[in-house]
Chain A
Amino acid sequence: MSQETILEVNDLRTSFFVEGNEVKAVDGVTFDVPKGKTLGIVGESGSGKSISALSILQLIDSPGEIVGGEINFKGDNLLKYNDNQMRKIRGNQISMIFQEPMTSLNPVYTVGQQLREALKIHRGLGKEAGTEKAVELLELVGIPSPRSRVTQYPFELSGGMRQRVMIAMALACDPELLVADEPTTALDVTIQAQILELLKELQDEFNMSIIMITHDLGVVAETCDYVAVMYCGKVVEYADVHTLFKNPRHPYTVGLLNSLPRSDMDQEELEPIRGTVPAPHEMPVGCRFAPRCPFATDLCHEKLPELEDVGDEEQVRCWIYTDEWDGDPEVKVYEPEARTAKD
């Protein structure tokens, strides 16, 4: 790695145990988060991206359980931490914001009370100092007349305002890493842009690293430096954001991009990815994407490919980019440029 990383996730495995069956929601996920940068984790619902995010802070509830792997935060494996040690990390060095601002704030406590809580736990701030800091934080996240907001209850705020409060809460103790789980999905489009803009500003100001969980490639393009694409509990491609959009390698990533309307390409029509995500109990033995992949060979159906380096800071989990590839050699050159040239 050419630059300092703040978080390294290695072979993370999180499973849910339902009625005697193990459902591998996160099945050997590996990625790095460079310091001060934003890593996007993209995937459809059920790809395991949110579970990966929750696993980082160990917020997985029964019947879910982290069954293996390493989560190295500044060199320390968080999975070795006990509950007490983990609590000192949460909301302090690593913070999290969630998808549903409407339900993520406790309805019976004021904004101020909820903001002060983390400050009291991690910084030992009393009521007055806490309130001062809370007002400061609300101002920072762009909430008008912050002093009067601290005594308000969540129901008195709009969805966008609540998400700003969530962000303020997450920033309370100057975290080094912010995990944002679909922070804008539940918001109106105009509010979405504001929130993303706010996160970017705050990142620059505090040199904070961000993990941005999203299903929206538009959000990725706007906010991320690096991207991990997840499919069925596995990372299938990791690259910096420019490479990913310009030169996607995994057929799934290509499919995702093709199903997106783009202004920079002359598209005849949008191509949805055929088929559907396999159900947990009928997971293919080979490449998880093989049943939907237009290039799949017998090899793909039988053997699971590894996540291999294919370039500088670029990894892909696909047989096409290995020596064993037994299908059409042409597909290796799978770049928009190459395609347009051929047409």
Chain B
Amino acid sequence: MTPFLEVTDIDIAYPPKRVVEGVSFKMAEAAIGCLLGPSGCGKTTLLRAIAGFEPVQRGLIWLEGVELSRPHWTLPPEQRRIGMMFQDLALFPHLTVADNVAFGLRSWKAAERWARVHELLNVVGLDEYAQRYPHQISGGQQQRVALARALAPRPRLLLLDEPFSSLDVALREDLAHEIRAILLREGIGGLLVSHDQFEAFAFADQIGVLNQGRLLQWDSAYNLYHRPADHFVADFIGQGVFLPGRMGEGSRVCTELGDIDGIPPAGCAPGDPVEVLVRPDDVTHDDSSPLMAEVVERAFRGAEFLYTLKLDSGARLLCLAASHHNHQAGQRIGIRLEIDHLVVFQRALGAMNEA
């Protein structure tokens, strides 16, 4: 299968600063992806380059086998057939909801145009608001209008630049699910930019984690969580702590919690210092376990407690325990490690203070 969207080794710079460096990834047709990263990591710039608003200094962007961007050449945004939902929505304040949605359909015949407008307003549940102006509807409704407007001309790909960031958390995930469903139904691919991993998990099948302009990993949410490719991804996705250890024989890693089987990073010799990623759900509470730790902090999460534990060595650990295991700070509790895939990174000297 040839990839639908293909981003190959691109650099984007606002001289003298390089904002995106050597990013490559591929997406299949009608696939839904997400670029995830902290603010300032270059994810929005990357998205804008795909939309055609930023030129690339190096590399290529292809869509459906057609070149969109190369150094010193950028196909104008209006010729890319890529829709975009903006962070500030950018609805046209002087046009009604219906005219906003119809805006991208200027070349269509009137009958087809209005049929499409009503079809989309029905999809997003706003047909009765067609004659309102954007300032006369709520934030969530504006979001839907922006979606309908972007989808109306049947783009090949929809780019979403943190469009949910102005909404409250509950509405955010609902809308992410809803838009995902609409995209799947319309058979349009989507690429979301977000700094919120739960939004990313709710929306996308494939997620790319960016930091400081580099794409660290392009993978499924499951793999990002369980098989992070590097220290930053492991730290950024989900919670967890890095426990220092040392490589033993074969695939054994020796830690203060005992020897654990894991896949050693390439080029690791026995005796090398390593760190082991321990997620809160890898640590279970077991009163009968000989391994003891002191409760330092606890956070009630409803169904469970998130305990911060201190080991005898002083290292910290997070533990997720069912909420009927109610322990106070200062208590010593028994714990057990239940790690399916052990994530081991080579420990650089001086990286000890992380986590």
The finding on whether chains A and B are genuine partners in a shared complex, rather than unrelated, reads: no
Please list the residues of chain B having a beta carbon within 8 angstroms of any beta carbon in chain A. Answer: none
Which A residues contact B (CB, under 8 angstroms)? none
